[in-house]
Amino acid sequence: MNAAAALPIRLTQLSSGGGCGCKIAPGVLTELLAATPIRVLPADLLVGKESSDDAAVYRLNDSQALIATTDFFTPIVDDPYDFGRIAATNALSDIYAMGGRPFMALAVVGMPLDKLPLEVIGKILAGGESVCAEAGIPIAGGHSIDVLEPIYGLVALGLVHPDRVKRNDSAQAGDVLILGKPLGVGILSAALKKGALSAAGYAQMIAATTRLNTPGIALAELPGVHAMTDITGFGLAGHLLEICRGSRLGAQLRYADLPFIEEALQWAKQGTVTGASERNWAGYGKEIRLPAGMPEWQRALLTDPQTSGGLLVACAAEVEAQVLAEFGKQGFDAACRVGRMVAGQGVSVE
């Protein structure tokens, strides 16, 4: 029996996209933002939209800066409780990626009330509440509307010392790249939507997408950690490109070193791919240099949209062991070195 067979309502059938795969394509987003002028910014706005970073950061005083972010999406799984858990974990990830600690959240809820029983909606909210309880924060309020497709997420607020904010545009040449979670969530979600994902594959997917990126708090304390981001809808290649562009550097990825969710590899080899993966490639593929003869399914894994994906850390080589130890201490067993930052532009895959 597949992972969704026993569910009377399939949430993934109520939406055209799912998870971070329903993000606006990177090329379209770039065009939209380019048309929006950046006006005079207050000096205390440490991070705004100019760097395509994970969250906005505003200095409150000499020892505190406020991190503010929002993230929401349509269902990536059919189980309502799991959908709530994944969406909340994903939203809080932006706080951890900036090196901060969350302290409060607000719920963003859009539900088709004519299609979903209140009991199902309640389970989605309970899933989000459970993750926030794990993070030690309250959901203190929010906003809800009646819409055509189910949407859930959070406005997340956190705090960080102004000197410890970890941006995505401050990597240095020679930095080691460390990835905290395995890749392949988008491909697993595509298999799930077809009703073909195994129970074991579903368990692997849930384990990855509901693990809070808490190592970001401790990594912000390490002077040798220069940049961080989390891998979400634009895939590993897309979010690494954001680091490259902002830092005015290039990057080299070692494909053989990349960690993947086991069942995602099997589906990728069979040609399972998301529409978002193809949109990602169309949006930024010209900046990616692939080795000759790379199979199409391997390329698709580089652009596969990750929902609640892992932290990508650019750090000095001398603190690599400390970074990996911190990931390991918090249960991120798949964390590993995947490449390095170099002079130049774009991403080269070896």
Q: What is the DSSP letter of 112?
A: -
Measured CA to CA, the distance from residue 82 to residue 254 in angstroms comes to 33
The DSSP symbol for 108 reads E
pLDDT given at position 54: 77
Report residue 228 as tokens: 């961080």
Task: Supply the pLDDT for residue 193.
Answer: 87
Contacts of 18 (CB under 8 A, 6+ apart): 12, 73, 74, 75, 76, 189, 193, 307
Using the predicted structure, report yes or no on whether residue 36 has a pLDDT greater than 90: no
**pLDDT recorded at residue 48:** 86
pLDDT given at position 2: 43
- Who's near 64: CB < 8 A, 6+ residues apart? 159, 160, 161, 162
- Sign of the Cα torsion 5, 131, 261, 71 reads positive
Which residues, 6+ apart, have CB-to-CB distance to 274 below 8 Å? 21, 186, 187, 189, 190, 304, 305
Segments in the chain forming alpha helices (H): 26-34, 80-97, 118-135, 185-193, 199-209, 215-219, 235-247, 262-269, 275-284, 296-303, 320-329
Neighbour tally for 39: CB within 10 Å: 5
pLDDT at 25 over 70: no
Pairing state between β 101-111 and 139-146: parallel
Mean pLDDT of the 56-60 span:
96
299 versus 20: which is more confidently predicted? 299
Per-residue pLDDT reduced to its tens digit, 209-247: 999 999 999 999 999 999 999 999 999 999 999 999 999
- Which positions are annotated as active-site residues? 20
| First-to-final CA distance of the chain | 39
Task: Give the residue-averaged pLDDT of 44-55.
Answer: 84
Max CA pair span of the chain: 58
Per-residue pLDDT, 30? 58
pLDDT digits (tens, 9 = 90+) for 278-334: 999 999 999 999 999 999 999 999 999 999 999 999 999 999 999 999 999 999 999
163 Cβ contact partners less than 8 Å away, ≥ 6 residues apart: none
How far are the Cα atoms of 111, 131, 273, 323 from residue 135, in angstroms, in the given order? 25, 6, 32, 21
Banded model confidence at residue 10, pLDDT cuts 50, 70, 90 = confident
The model's pLDDT over 159-205, given as tens digits with 9 standing for 90+, comes to: 999 999 999 999 999 999 999 999 999 999 999 988 899 999 999 99
Q: Tens digits of per-residue pLDDT, 61-112?
A: 999 999 999 999 999 999 999 999 999 999 999 999 999 999 999 999 999 9
pTM above 0.75, yes or no: yes
14 DSSP assignment? G
Confidence of residue 9 (pLDDT cuts 50, 70, 90): confident
Q: How confident is the model at residue 1 (pLDDT cuts 50, 70, 90)?
A: very low
